[in-house]
Amino acid sequence: MRTPLALLFLSLCAIAAIWWWLAIPITLTRAPIDPAAKLECVSYAPFRGDQSPLVKGTQIPPEQIAEDFAQLAKISKCVRTYSVQNGLDKAPELARKAGLKLILGIWLGSNRVDNVVEIATAVHLAKDYADVISAVVVGNEVLLRGEMTAADLAANIRSVKAQVKVPVTYADVWEYWLRNRDIYDAVDFVTIHILPYWEDLPVPARYAATHVDSIRKRVAVAFPGKEILIGETGWPSAGRMREGALPSRTNQARVVSEILTLAKQENFRVNLIEAYDQPWKRQLEGTVGGYWGLIDAKARAEKYPAGVPINNFPRWKQEMAAGMVLCVLIFVVAMWTARRRPWAPHFSAWLGVAGSATAAGALLGVAVEKLLTESLGIGGWTQWGLLLAAGVLAPLLAASVQMSGRPLPTFVEVLGPRAGRTTSRRMLLLGLTLGVTTVIATETALGLVFDPRYKDFPFAALTMAVVPFWMLMVFNRPHAGARPMAEAVFGGLLVIASAYIAFNEGIANWQSLWTCLVYVMLGITLWRARAAQSPG
């Protein structure tokens, strides 16, 4: 038993080392939310849980907004809203009570009737709450969405300016200001959105603050006569990578901290997006859309309290412990199987078990985190739940099969004619786990080929599931028989899709490269399957 115990010890040490590295906190010169200096302004949407502006008739109770404003008043001088619908017509009154200033947003779109109602309501509020409303934003990214011409937008801006006494502006991505210079003449100041993550050429987090400053200066040169307000900037704390731009807790904290430090040094105003995480945005923008907030959507707690170390895995000790338990269970299953065999297993078999156990133990916590943050709706929870279950079951079942010297079962052994099916429950479960993993891997790979912009990379749970299959293919591979058609088709699809995804996402996207590597491993494992594995 010295060999498995030694390998178990090495696996546990590797898991501990990986989690120690993952949990190293970052050091910032300024806290993202500094209790000694309030934020200039933050974007605010009042929606919680299943509440969504996409559901017609959604009305947020004033008590809910008042509760949020009371919390935001402790960290910010101002909030920016985007509409006066969904109960936000009460925002000026509630902001006054909380001691907040308000940048009031008017939502414009392609529906002219809705536009008229928005403008009339906002004008009325701007007159009644001139002491609270510091500016009115007539339209948000309506040119970007292509829902209004620049001429119509300018007319709406001038109409509002003629009726209110507070400054009036329009907000859009910086590029659309440069493309529509006529809007500059209509506004009192220029409000630009600079989101390094969403740029056509995504900017990595370490360069985000510099990018924001360079774009601000570029726009200031183009529009020298008016103030440039950065109306939206920030970074997501979860979601898929875009080239070298990685959403994460540490990157969000770093980007926000560096932008605020730069704003103080250069003396320009910044509105951060956004106050609270907004789950409803995930329907439009994928996982990343729901995690731009400085405050968690469920717990309504600051993500980065002052004085608390910031890392990407706040629960890393529990996640490391859970991974170590899974690693031990995998070795226990292998040892139990080995003791029931009349021969001693080869050292290669123990290497296969150790590789599977280390991968599963190291990635379990990451996979659970991704399950909790990336699952959306019944379909999403089912898909990612099944993949995580496969990631846990595969190394346990494969450890037993590895010790038995048997290869992976083919799909025909599991789903083929009754006479040819395996009678071993262990092999049946392993075959079903392989089937579930293959179907989910193929579906996600095709999604990343044909509709990749908002798709997440399932690298953690997929690796947990695929590594045990790969180990069985390497060490227990059959050397005779015909290549099954189903495995060949799935394997070919995964390899071809991987080549395209890696090229499309770029070499800076490690999430993509990792996922593609696992797709290729699964594809080769399936391609090397042989029908001789089936009885008869």
Residue 33 covered by a domain: yes
**pTM recorded for the entire structure:** 0.92
pLDDT score of 33 more than 90: no
Per-residue model confidence (pLDDT) at position 531: 67
**Cα–Cα dist 391/70, whole Å:** 44
Domain end, chosen from 290, 323, 350, is at 290
Q: Give me the chain's average pLDDT, please.
A: 94
Which residue's entry shows tokens 């280390």?
A: 358
DSSP string, 413-462: HHHS-GGGS---HHHHHHHHHHHHHHHHHHHHHHHHHHS-TTPPP-HHHH
Which residue's entry shows tokens 């009726």?
A: 163
User: If you average pLDDT over residues 81-98, what whole number do you get?
Assistant: 97
Per-residue model confidence (pLDDT) at position 343: 73
Residues 508 and 481 in one domain: yes
pLDDT confidence bin for 533, thresholds 50/70/90 = very low
Residues 478 and 503 in one domain: yes
**Cα–Cα dist 189/184, whole Å:** 8
Are 177 and 224 in contact by the 8 Å Cβ rule? The answer is no
Residues 317 and 442 in one domain: yes
pLDDT confidence bin for 361, thresholds 50/70/90 = very high
pLDDT score of 344 more than 70: yes
Residues 241 and 350 in one domain: no
Write b or e for each residue in 302-329: b if 16 or more Cβ atoms lie within 10 A of its Cβ, otherwise e: bbbeeeeebbbbbebeebbeebbebbeb
Are 66 and 33 in contact by the 8 Å Cβ rule? The answer is no
Span 522-531, pLDDT tens digits = 999 999 988 6
Are 413 and 421 in contact by the 8 Å Cβ rule? The answer is yes
Residue 58 covered by a domain: yes
| CATH code: domain of residue 160 | 3.20.20.80
| Residue 268 token pair | 């320009």
Least-confidence region, from 195-204, 504-513, 522-531: 522-531
Q: Is the dihedral of CA 27, 29, 33, 35 positive or negative?
A: positive
Residues 281 and 410 in one domain: no
CB count in 10 Å sphere of residue 527: 18
Residues 101 and 250 in one domain: yes
User: If you average pLDDT over residues 337-360, what whole number do you get?
Assistant: 89
Residues 391 and 278 in one domain: no
Residues 330 and 200 in one domain: no
**Cα–Cα dist 352/333, whole Å:** 13
Phi, psi of 510 (to 5 degrees): -70, -30
**Cα–Cα dist 23/45, whole Å:** 32
Residues 266 and 366 in one domain: no
pLDDT score of 28 more than 90: no
pLDDT confidence bin for 425, thresholds 50/70/90 = confident
Write out the H or E segment, with its range, that includes residue 528. none
DSSP string, 14-60: HHHHHHHHHTPPB--SS-SSBTTB-BSEEE-----TT--TTSTT---
Per-residue model confidence (pLDDT) at position 413: 81
Residues 244 and 385 in one domain: no
Residue 272 covered by a domain: yes
Residue 22 covered by a domain: no
| Residue 533 token pair | 């594995």
**Cα–Cα dist 395/360, whole Å:** 7
Per-residue model confidence (pLDDT) at position 479: 66
For residue 342, give Cα distances in angstroms to 136, 335, 415, 475. Answer: 81, 13, 31, 19
Short-list 73, 71, 79, CA closest to 137 = 79
Query: Which 8-state DSSP code applies to residue 484?
Result: P
Task: Provide, rounded to the nearest whole percent, the portion of the chain with pLDDT above 90.
Answer: 85
Residue 356 covered by a domain: yes
For residue 284, give Cα distances in angstroms to 280, 289, 314, 515. Answer: 8, 7, 28, 23
Are 527 and 485 in contact by the 8 Å Cβ rule? The answer is no
Q: Is 446 exposed, middle or buried (0-12, 13-18, 19+ CB in 10 A)?
A: middle
Per-residue model confidence (pLDDT) at position 534: 41
Least-confidence region, from 17-26, 178-187, 335-344: 335-344
pLDDT score of 29 more than 80: no
Query: Residue 302: helix, strand or coil by DSSP?
Result: strand
| Residue 131 token pair | 């002491």
Per-residue model confidence (pLDDT) at position 12: 97
Residues 126 and 241 in one domain: yes
**Cα–Cα dist 456/374, whole Å:** 8
CB count in 10 Å sphere of residue 134: 16
User: If you average pLDDT over residues 383-408, what whole number do you get?
Assistant: 94
DSSP string, 124-153: HHHHHTTTTEEEEEEEESTTTTT-S-HHHH
pLDDT confidence bin for 342, thresholds 50/70/90 = low
pLDDT score of 126 more than 60: yes
Query: Which 8-state DSSP code applies to residue 340?
Result: T
**Cα–Cα dist 143/125, whole Å:** 25
User: If you average pLDDT over residues 324-333, what whole number do you get?
Assistant: 97
Query: Residue 271: helix, strand or coil by DSSP?
Result: strand
Residue 297 covered by a domain: no
Span 430-454, pLDDT tens digits = 999 999 999 999 999 999 999 999 9
pLDDT score of 535 more than 50: no
Residues 57 and 94 in one domain: yes
Residue 68 covered by a domain: yes
* Structural domain of 516: 2-17+313-533
Residue 174 covered by a domain: yes
**Total of domains in the chain:** 2
